[in-house]
Amino acid sequence: MLAVAALGAACLALSPAGSAVADSGAPVASHCVPGERVLYSCAFPRGVGSLCSDGETVHYRYGPRGKAEIDLAGLPDWSNVRVGDVRGQGNGYERHVRISRGRFHYVVFEGMNGELSESPGRAYSGIAVLEGARGERELITLSCPGRSAHDLSAPLLQERAEAEEPNGPFDMWY
Protein backbone atom coordinates (compact mmCIF):
# COMPACT_ATOMS: atom_id res chain seq x y z
CA MET A 1 0.00 0.00 0.00
CA LEU A 2 1.24 3.46 -0.81
CA ALA A 3 2.26 5.70 2.04
CA VAL A 4 -0.95 7.56 2.74
CA ALA A 5 0.69 10.25 4.82
CA ALA A 6 0.91 11.84 1.39
CA LEU A 7 0.07 14.44 1.00
CA GLY A 8 -2.01 32.85 -1.36
CA ALA A 9 0.38 33.88 -3.53
CA ALA A 10 0.48 33.91 -7.31
CA CYS A 11 3.87 35.50 -8.05
CA LEU A 12 6.53 32.84 -7.49
CA ALA A 13 10.27 32.47 -7.86
CA LEU A 14 12.71 29.74 -6.86
CA SER A 15 15.31 30.72 -4.31
CA PRO A 16 18.82 29.24 -4.48
CA ALA A 17 18.01 27.08 -1.46
CA GLY A 18 15.05 25.50 -3.30
CA SER A 19 12.32 27.27 -1.36
CA ALA A 20 9.34 28.83 -3.06
CA VAL A 21 9.06 32.54 -2.46
CA ALA A 22 5.58 34.01 -2.25
CA ASP A 23 4.82 37.58 -3.29
CA SER A 24 5.36 38.81 0.29
CA GLY A 25 8.99 37.71 0.03
CA ALA A 26 8.74 35.15 2.82
CA PRO A 27 9.97 31.68 1.83
CA VAL A 28 7.59 28.74 1.65
CA ALA A 29 9.17 25.28 2.04
CA SER A 30 9.27 23.24 -1.17
CA HIS A 31 10.39 19.88 -2.55
CA CYS A 32 11.04 21.38 -5.99
CA VAL A 33 14.62 21.01 -7.20
CA PRO A 34 16.74 23.61 -9.00
CA GLY A 35 15.44 24.13 -12.52
CA GLU A 36 11.83 23.35 -11.56
CA ARG A 37 9.03 25.86 -11.21
CA VAL A 38 6.94 25.76 -8.04
CA LEU A 39 3.30 25.25 -9.00
CA TYR A 40 2.24 24.59 -5.41
CA SER A 41 3.92 24.17 -2.06
CA CYS A 42 2.79 24.19 1.57
CA ALA A 43 4.30 23.08 4.87
CA PHE A 44 1.78 20.85 6.62
CA PRO A 45 2.30 19.71 10.23
CA ARG A 46 3.82 16.37 9.16
CA GLY A 47 5.48 17.26 5.88
CA VAL A 48 5.78 19.47 2.85
CA GLY A 49 3.57 18.95 -0.20
CA SER A 50 4.77 20.32 -3.54
CA LEU A 51 3.76 20.29 -7.18
CA CYS A 52 6.73 21.12 -9.40
CA SER A 53 7.43 21.37 -13.13
CA ASP A 54 10.59 21.25 -15.20
CA GLY A 55 8.68 22.46 -18.27
CA GLU A 56 8.18 18.95 -19.64
CA THR A 57 6.26 17.23 -16.86
CA VAL A 58 4.99 17.74 -13.33
CA HIS A 59 6.00 16.07 -10.08
CA TYR A 60 3.89 15.66 -6.95
CA ARG A 61 6.17 15.32 -3.92
CA TYR A 62 5.38 14.88 -0.25
CA GLY A 63 7.45 14.18 2.84
CA PRO A 64 9.41 15.72 5.66
CA ARG A 65 11.23 18.97 4.95
CA GLY A 66 14.27 18.14 2.78
CA LYS A 67 13.23 14.52 2.03
CA ALA A 68 10.32 13.74 -0.27
CA GLU A 69 9.03 10.26 0.54
CA ILE A 70 6.62 10.32 -2.40
CA ASP A 71 7.70 11.52 -5.84
CA LEU A 72 5.01 10.89 -8.42
CA ALA A 73 5.73 12.15 -11.93
CA GLY A 74 3.33 12.89 -14.70
CA LEU A 75 3.68 10.42 -17.57
CA PRO A 76 5.39 11.67 -20.76
CA ASP A 77 1.99 11.89 -22.52
CA TRP A 78 0.42 13.55 -19.43
CA SER A 79 -2.31 10.88 -19.39
CA ASN A 80 -2.24 10.70 -15.58
CA VAL A 81 -2.55 14.47 -15.06
CA ARG A 82 -5.86 16.35 -15.07
CA VAL A 83 -6.88 19.91 -14.25
CA GLY A 84 -10.19 21.08 -12.87
CA ASP A 85 -11.88 24.40 -12.22
CA VAL A 86 -15.12 24.76 -10.25
CA ARG A 87 -16.99 28.05 -9.98
CA GLY A 88 -19.52 28.87 -7.28
CA GLN A 89 -22.05 31.52 -6.46
CA GLY A 90 -20.74 34.89 -5.43
CA ASN A 91 -17.52 34.52 -7.44
CA GLY A 92 -16.14 31.63 -5.39
CA TYR A 93 -13.80 29.24 -7.18
CA GLU A 94 -11.55 26.25 -6.74
CA ARG A 95 -8.98 24.89 -9.17
CA HIS A 96 -7.03 21.68 -8.87
CA VAL A 97 -4.40 19.47 -10.45
CA ARG A 98 -4.80 15.69 -10.09
CA ILE A 99 -2.00 13.19 -10.62
CA SER A 100 -3.02 9.55 -10.56
CA ARG A 101 -1.10 6.33 -10.04
CA GLY A 102 -3.17 3.18 -10.28
CA ARG A 103 -6.17 3.57 -8.03
CA PHE A 104 -4.66 6.48 -6.04
CA HIS A 105 -5.30 10.13 -6.89
CA TYR A 106 -3.31 13.04 -5.46
CA VAL A 107 -5.26 16.28 -5.81
CA VAL A 108 -3.59 19.63 -5.17
CA PHE A 109 -6.18 22.41 -4.86
CA GLU A 110 -6.53 26.13 -4.16
CA GLY A 111 -9.52 28.41 -4.08
CA MET A 112 -11.39 31.33 -2.60
CA ASN A 113 -14.77 31.48 -0.92
CA GLY A 114 -17.41 33.51 -2.74
CA GLU A 115 -19.37 36.51 -1.50
CA LEU A 116 -22.32 34.31 -0.50
CA SER A 117 -20.30 32.00 1.75
CA GLU A 118 -19.93 32.18 5.55
CA SER A 119 -16.40 33.57 5.15
CA PRO A 120 -16.32 35.57 1.89
CA GLY A 121 -12.93 36.15 0.33
CA ARG A 122 -11.14 33.51 2.42
CA ALA A 123 -8.36 31.89 0.37
CA TYR A 124 -7.47 28.26 1.03
CA SER A 125 -5.44 25.42 -0.41
CA GLY A 126 -4.47 21.85 0.33
CA ILE A 127 -4.01 18.30 -0.85
CA ALA A 128 -6.55 15.46 -1.02
CA VAL A 129 -5.64 11.80 -1.50
CA LEU A 130 -8.41 9.63 -2.92
CA GLU A 131 -8.61 5.92 -3.70
CA GLY A 132 -10.67 4.04 -6.26
CA ALA A 133 -11.11 4.15 -10.00
CA ARG A 134 -13.33 7.21 -9.63
CA GLY A 135 -11.92 8.50 -6.33
CA GLU A 136 -14.82 7.14 -4.31
CA ARG A 137 -12.84 6.80 -1.07
CA GLU A 138 -11.23 9.85 0.57
CA LEU A 139 -8.08 8.76 2.41
CA ILE A 140 -7.03 12.17 3.68
CA THR A 141 -7.51 15.86 2.97
CA LEU A 142 -4.89 18.26 4.27
CA SER A 143 -5.71 21.96 4.57
CA CYS A 144 -2.69 24.22 4.33
CA PRO A 145 -2.34 25.68 7.83
CA GLY A 146 -0.38 28.74 6.75
CA ARG A 147 0.72 30.43 3.60
CA SER A 148 1.17 28.46 0.43
CA ALA A 149 2.82 29.23 -2.86
CA HIS A 150 0.63 28.29 -5.78
CA ASP A 151 0.12 28.82 -9.49
CA LEU A 152 -2.33 26.11 -10.52
CA SER A 153 -3.47 28.16 -13.51
CA ALA A 154 0.01 28.08 -15.07
CA PRO A 155 -0.11 27.95 -18.90
CA LEU A 156 1.90 24.71 -18.93
CA LEU A 157 -0.86 22.93 -17.01
CA GLN A 158 -3.62 24.39 -19.16
CA GLU A 159 -1.80 23.48 -22.40
CA ARG A 160 -0.59 19.95 -21.53
CA ALA A 161 -3.07 18.45 -19.06
CA GLU A 162 -6.58 17.39 -20.02
CA ALA A 163 -9.54 18.89 -18.22
CA GLU A 164 -11.54 16.81 -15.78
CA GLU A 165 -14.65 15.17 -17.17
CA PRO A 166 -17.48 17.74 -16.83
CA ASN A 167 -19.65 16.80 -13.84
CA GLY A 168 -17.40 13.76 -13.37
CA PRO A 169 -16.25 12.35 -10.03
CA PHE A 170 -13.25 14.68 -9.70
CA ASP A 171 -15.05 17.83 -10.87
CA MET A 172 -15.88 18.92 -7.32
CA TRP A 173 -14.98 21.06 -4.29
CA TYR A 174 -12.19 19.58 -2.14
pLDDT higher than 80, residue 3: no
List of residues 6+ apart from 99 with CB closer than 8 A: 51, 58, 60, 72, 74, 80, 81, 105, 106
Comparing CA positions, the residue from 84, 23, 33 lying closest to residue 58 is 33
pLDDT higher than 70, residue 14: no
pTM reported for the whole predicted model = 0.84
Task: Give pLDDT tens digits for 59-76.
Answer: 999 999 999 999 999 999
List of residues 6+ apart from 42 with CB closer than 8 A: 28, 29, 48, 49, 125, 126, 127, 144, 145, 146, 147, 148, 149
- Share above pLDDT 90 across residues of the chain, in percent, rounded to a whole number: 78
